């Protein structure tokens, strides 16, 4: 029989040294797999620390790999495998729960069943009665800026009373442009006697901007700017509904879109397969749509195609 090569002898020595400390030679020979070189204990099971698994090393030997680290994954690198933690835009728990980091999904990744709603700027206006000019020491407040009407302005945030409401409103806009500190754009609609204020930055934060006045016969839409909204992803829900005999008789139907809130609704009616115009009124409560046939044109088998957009 040929003598083992130096490398083969080194492998044999490695196997022997690994097990010689706790087993006798007879047991080793009995439980050593001659094909794989794996040593089995007396119970024919491989002795491993809990949470470990066997993996081949560069010498063709089996070695223990600790895979017990909480929430780690076993991943290959083209040569071997290792226990590694997930990182980047997502994390995983030891029960398999995957959590995607905030901001990790952009518009290009969204399904066609989703729609992006842009952020909306908060706005409001002060409406004054044309012909009723401001009086001395009356004020307009925009955010933290307080503008005071004076017979003759002599300091920042003072506005000279012009003699007409439109003229004083124009003087107010000039003072806002010169000394205003709030991130707003103010315009004058003298046709409708309104001083319009719009937040420069879209989002709900603009709704906190104060908008008040003590100008006699002038009122603000709200105590603050309003209707600002952050960008959001809205869901698009298409529904094709076949009108039943009962719905045609009652001239009413209710549909649950599955949404919590509906922001937009489109409806197309088909009479015997042909698109038609029919009178109807629509009510929306949360994600539920109620439709009333006001013209009495519904018939069993007619189709309503509905496209609901919301969240």
pLDDT at 21 (0 to 100)? 46
pLDDT at 22 (0 to 100)? 45
Tell if the pTM clears 0.75, that is, is over it. Answer: no
CA distance 304 to 90: 41
pLDDT category of residue 7 using cuts at 50, 70 and 90: low
Mean pLDDT of 79-106: 86
Phi-psi region of 166 (alpha: psi -120 to 50; beta: other; left: phi over 0): alpha
CA distance 86 to 155: 61
pLDDT category of residue 23 using cuts at 50, 70 and 90: very low
> pLDDT tens-digit profile of 251-305?
999 999 999 988 889 999 998 888 888 789 999 999 999 999 998 889 999 999 9
DSSP string, 144-187: TEEEEEESS--STTEEE--SSHHHHHHHHHHHHHHH--SSEEEE
3-state secondary structure of 47: coil
Domain boundaries, the chain: 1-47, 123-220, 234-310
pLDDT category of residue 185 using cuts at 50, 70 and 90: very high
What percent of the chain is modeled with pLDDT above 70?
Answer: 81
Cα four-point dihedral sign 283, 288, 292, 297: positive
């Amino acid at each position: 029989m040929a003598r083992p090569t130096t490398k083969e002898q080194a492998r044999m020595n490695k196997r022997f040294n690994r097990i010689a400390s706790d087993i006798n030679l007879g047991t080793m020979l009995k439980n050593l797999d001659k094909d794989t070189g794996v040593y089995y204990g007396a119970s024919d099971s491989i002795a491993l620390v809990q949470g470990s698994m066997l993996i081949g090393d560069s010498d063709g030997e089996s070695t223990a790999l600790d895979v017990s680290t909480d929430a780690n994954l076993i991943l290959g690198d083209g040569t071997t495998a290792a226990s590694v933690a997930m990182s980047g835009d997502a994390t995983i728990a030891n029960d398999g729960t995957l959590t995607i980091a905030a901001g990790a999904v952009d518009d290009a990744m969204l399904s066609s069943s989703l729609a992006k709603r842009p952020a909306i700027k908060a706005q409001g206006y002060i409406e004054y009665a044309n012909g009723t000019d401001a009086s001395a020491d009356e004020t307009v407040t925009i955010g933290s800026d307080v503008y005071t009407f004076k017979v003759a302005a002599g300091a920042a945030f003072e506005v000279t009373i012009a003699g007409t409401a439109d003229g004083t409103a124009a003087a107010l806009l000039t003072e806002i442009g010169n000394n205003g500190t709030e991130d707003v754009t103010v315009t004058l609609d003298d046709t409708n006697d309104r001083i319009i204020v719009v937040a420069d930055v879209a989002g709900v934060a603009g709704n906190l901007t104060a908008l008040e006045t003590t100008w006699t016969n002038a009122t603000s839409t709200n105590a603050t700017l309003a209707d600002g909204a952050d960008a959001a992803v809205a869901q698009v829900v298409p529904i094709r509904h076949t009108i039943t005999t009962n719905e045609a008789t009652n001239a009413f139907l209710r549909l649950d879109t599955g949404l919590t809130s509906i922001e937009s609704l489109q409806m197309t009616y088909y009479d015997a397969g042909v698109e038609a115009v029919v009178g109807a009124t629509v009510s929306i409560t949360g994600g539920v749509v109620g439709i009333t046939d006001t013209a009495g044109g519904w018939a069993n088998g007619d189709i309503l195609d509905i496209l609901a957009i919301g969240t």
